[in-house]
Structure 1
Amino acid sequence: MTTQLTNVQVRDIEALVHPYTPLHRVREIGPLVLDRGKGVYVYDTQGKEYIEGMSGLWCAGLGFSDEEMVEAGTEQLKRLPYYHLFGAKGYEVAIELAEKLKEIAPVPISKVLYSSSGSEANDTQIKLAWYYNNALGRPDKKKIISRVKGYHGVTVMSASLTGLPNNHIDFDLPVPRVLHADCPHHYRFGLEGETEEAFVARLAANLRALIEKEGPETIAAFIAEPIMGAGGVIVPPEGYFAAIQPIFEEHDILMIGDEVITGFGRTGEWFGSTAVGYKPHTISVAKQLTASYAPLSAVMLPQFMVDALESESAKIGVFGHGYTYGGHPLGCALGVKAIEIYQKRDILGRVRGLAPLFAARIAKLAEHPLIGDVRVKGLVGGVELVADKKTKRPFDPKQGVGAKIVGFLQARGAILRAIGDTIALCPPMVISEAELNELFDRLEKALDDGEAMVTKDGLRG
């Protein structure tokens, strides 16, 4: 508990509403006010150094203060600091980035539609799915299937797609037309004695039953993260997407790939869809699109959807969608440079090279008394805290064990994120082996701090 706040912390409390924060406790715990960053480290206003083990919010894949990125942004600000793409206007960096996205896309892509955030991109995806079906004369085909524990953003529609209660409670969400299918988390939702293969078969059967109950003629699209991020770093069982994809194909249901977290090398592939065998029709990207050096997102569209957009525009007279900052020149310039860096520095190869060490260190954590399950793919992972390893019994959420352990870790000079009682890891892809080992060393010590706390306070009861 913070007993004496610095002047800048007090000013922060008086000025800001902090997202995804227990607002009633900010004055008690005190905000961490950061001043600068370099490489995989960030520094607070007191000069203390922290390993940023979450790449900010899953996004700073190239770390902080990369000189090439800073130079690219500076040059674009000097050349054309702002313009827009409305009314058939354009500029070179927006075109160049779209071409690069088409080149590296995991499925055939025809055109790119920009926005500013992952939430906006996924919100746009749903508008386009509805627009597409109207263009085809299917006005009733409008429901969207998401999944329990899926995360797709915080706009009214994208938060409705998100399958997490805290994104719905007292926001009057979800809105109609949104359905939530099963979460592909075998550890938590598998039946006793049920193999992963049987679990996948059951989820596929449940999905088919849901579609038949609602009526396939009423369902427009399915949206999925290849790996569920904010739902707890949930890596689907082998064969999951292969089992469910034919169901959507059979019923002419669009498949949307939410690559906001998993895009641009995080899994060791350009896109997480490739890593898990998912072949979506459309793709949302953001975060590592610009290595987080500026806000930018994009929806990547196949030709058949572009054709529908053009035909409906001809009927109405205009395509009535777009954002003031969608395709902002600064974001596009940084996106072009980020992809160039990913390619020339072989970031995918770097992730693949670090992945065995990352996986080994996470696997070791499974031995800790507090850890019930571990998940990992490439350079993203999660460790799930439990009160009882044998029964998988979780801690009471009100105890905030995950948040307390992340607090212990912060005191030891590293930043990770507690998603309930799952601790997520998503370090910058430029992290070295020594830095990665140091991050895990500090996490192990923080878990020991947590075990001492749990034992002392009797939180397992």
Structure 2
Amino acid sequence: MKNDGVLHPYSNARALEKEKRLIITEGDGIYVIDSEGRRYIEGVSSLWYANLGFSEKRLADAATRQLNRLPCYHAFSNRITDVVLELTERLLGMAPVPMSSVFYASSGSEANDTALKIVEYYYNAIGKPDKKLIIGRKMGYHGVTHAAASMTGVPRNHMGFDLPSSRVLHVSQPDFYKFGKIGETEEEYSGRLAEELENAIIQAGPERIGAFIAEPLMGVGGVVPPPAGYFQKVQKILDEHEILFIVDEVICGFGRLGEMFGTTAYDLKPDMITIAKGFSCGYVPISALMMNSKVYEAVADGTDKNGVFGHGFTYSAHPVAAAVALEALNIYEELDITKRVQELGDYFQTKLEDLRKSPIVGDIRGRGLIAGIQVVKNSETKEFFEPSQGAGKIFEINTERHGLITRALGDVLALAPPLIINKDEIDDFICRLSLALVDTEKELC
């Protein structure tokens, strides 16, 4: 098949020219429908964001009402819309830790890019202009703008782009299954990673480290929950060296883990929080950066000194996006979404455990309605497939053949169904997944 005119994200453009496209034309609850009329369970909520599925009329109606009332406006200077003020009051009221101010953007990448700029602005404002380095984690994912991709620790996001920037350092990813030593407990492993972080800070100079950024549960890095004691040890080190803590809630936020935020799920104490995806369930692009009073007050003082906060996007605080996000929050509240995900999440995770019987399933991990299945060559010895074998991709292709869309992250199969899924649909999900696993075993064993 020739080039379709689109430079597809995360693709090999030459290889894609030879492949048939999966053209999605409709959505219905947890399902999407292709151009040939075939229905698929969307097992990753598109890109982790369709929490309320693909046909929530209330979100469409909220957008339509706002389009008919005030279809567009900005938040530059002293201008603001009523719907954005309402959304902001609601968002700050539900923040997992006290937050003082919100900056709006259109994607998680933009929110995280803004967080880095805020770090720089903050330290300039408080008279510490050398304290600008950012520490991220290998395989951590924070977006694809130049700054966000630098904070991201995924090699494929760096290749060919002269990234990461020298302003960003990366420490080890907290993946106990892959990197825990024989006989080592999770708590001991967390201690080892905390020691590595401390050493990295000392080596670079605490006076030069401005912030640490992390996802509560790593998404793109393989759906990896933090090992026991990890964040408690990390936060102690950050506090000791007066380093800002940025929590990337782009995937974890809005109920995915069975708590409204991953910050609550893992008892984090961030200075800044970035959100997107489930904020509007992907119906209209919107993201935000929340900051606490310490950060806001310093930034506000800086704007007074400089005369302006010289940052903002054309579509920051777009009223249609704000209206949709506000309605999504209303629906979450009415569904008691955290309780729902806790109950369904337990059922989902229990059903997934049956797949451990497979000789190529090394680990199944997750929380709530997100999970990752680690594919291995030998589950007893934890021997991994060679990357060139594409074991995870083979599994993904087989799930698609059985009407279930998943996403291979290396040799981890990511699962994150819409939060509106019910028990019968989970049973169907697991059935299709199991059939695909059997096919994958036949190909790989």
Tell me, yes or no, if structure 1 residue 33 matches structure 2 residue 16. no
Partner of 2:338: 348
Cα deviation for residue 323 of structure 1 reads 0.3
Could you tell me whether the CA contact under 8 Å between 1:119 and 1:152 is conserved in 2? yes
Cα deviation for residue 53 of structure 1 reads 0.7
Partner of 2:39: 49
Tell me, yes or no, if structure 1 residue 229 matches structure 2 residue 226. no
Superposition pairs for residues 22-171 of structure 1, below 5 Å?
22-171=12-161
TM-score scaled to structure 2, two decimals?
A: 0.98
Could you tell me whether the CA contact under 8 Å between 1:263 and 1:272 is conserved in 2? yes
Cα deviation for residue 397 of structure 1 reads 1.2
Selected match of 1:417 from 384, 399, 407: 407
Could you tell me whether the CA contact under 8 Å between 1:405 and 1:446 is conserved in 2? yes
Could you tell me whether the CA contact under 8 Å between 2:247 and 2:270 is conserved in 1? yes
Selected match of 2:438 from 424, 448, 456: 448
Tell me, yes or no, if structure 1 residue 263 matches structure 2 residue 258. no
Task: Tell me the amino acid that sits aligned with residue 353 of structure 1.
Answer: E
For 1:182 and 1:401, the matched residues in 2 are separated by 24
Could you tell me whether the CA contact under 8 Å between 2:271 and 2:295 is conserved in 1? no
Could you tell me whether the CA contact under 8 Å between 2:102 and 2:291 is conserved in 1? yes
Tell me, yes or no, if structure 1 residue 389 matches structure 2 residue 393. no
Cα deviation for residue 308 of structure 1 reads 1.2
Task: Tell me the amino acid that sits aligned with residue 80 of structure 1.
Answer: L
For 2:78 and 2:141, the matched residues in 1 are separated by 33
Could you tell me which runs of 5 or more consecutive residues in structure 1 were left unpaired when the two chains were aligned. 456-461
For 1:365 and 1:181, the matched residues in 2 are separated by 32
Partner of 2:265: 275
Partner of 2:234: 244
Could you tell me whether the CA contact under 8 Å between 1:157 and 1:175 is conserved in 2? yes
The CA deviation string for residues 386-420 of structure 1, in whole angstroms up to 9 with x for no partner, is 11222222111112121122111111111010001
Could you tell me which runs of 5 or more consecutive residues in structure 2 were left unpaired when the two chains were aligned. none
For 2:10 and 2:384, the matched residues in 1 are separated by 21
Cα deviation for residue 27 of structure 1 reads 3.0
Cα deviation for residue 318 of structure 1 reads 0.7
Partner of 1:176: 166
The CA deviation string for residues 320-355 of structure 1, in whole angstroms up to 9 with x for no partner, is 000001111111001100001000111111101101
Give identity over the alignment, percent: 47
Cα deviation for residue 83 of structure 1 reads 0.6
For 1:152 and 1:246, the matched residues in 2 are separated by 23
For 1:196 and 1:401, the matched residues in 2 are separated by 27
For 1:280 and 1:134, the matched residues in 2 are separated by 20
For 2:88 and 2:209, the matched residues in 1 are separated by 29
For 1:247 and 1:318, the matched residues in 2 are separated by 34
Cα deviation for residue 195 of structure 1 reads 1.1
Cα deviation for residue 29 of structure 1 reads 2.8
Partner of 1:459: none
For 1:379 and 1:305, the matched residues in 2 are separated by 33
Indicate the SS of the match to 2:396: helix
Tell me, yes or no, if structure 1 residue 379 matches structure 2 residue 351. no
Selected match of 1:217 from 207, 210, 220: 207
Runs of 4+ in 1 over 6 A off after TM superposition: none
Cα deviation for residue 371 of structure 1 reads 0.7
For 1:95 and 1:285, the matched residues in 2 are separated by 17
Indicate the SS of the match to 1:114: strand
Cα deviation for residue 211 of structure 1 reads 0.8
Indicate the SS of the match to 2:104: strand
Cα deviation for residue 249 of structure 1 reads 0.6
Task: Tell me the amino acid that sits aligned with residue 206 of structure 1.
Answer: E
Partner of 1:307: 297
Indicate the SS of the match to 1:256: strand
Task: Tell me the amino acid that sits aligned with residue 263 of structure 1.
Answer: G
Could you tell me whether the CA contact under 8 Å between 1:265 and 1:347 is conserved in 2? yes
Partner of 2:197: 207
Indicate the SS of the match to 2:61: helix
For 1:350 and 1:265, the matched residues in 2 are separated by 9
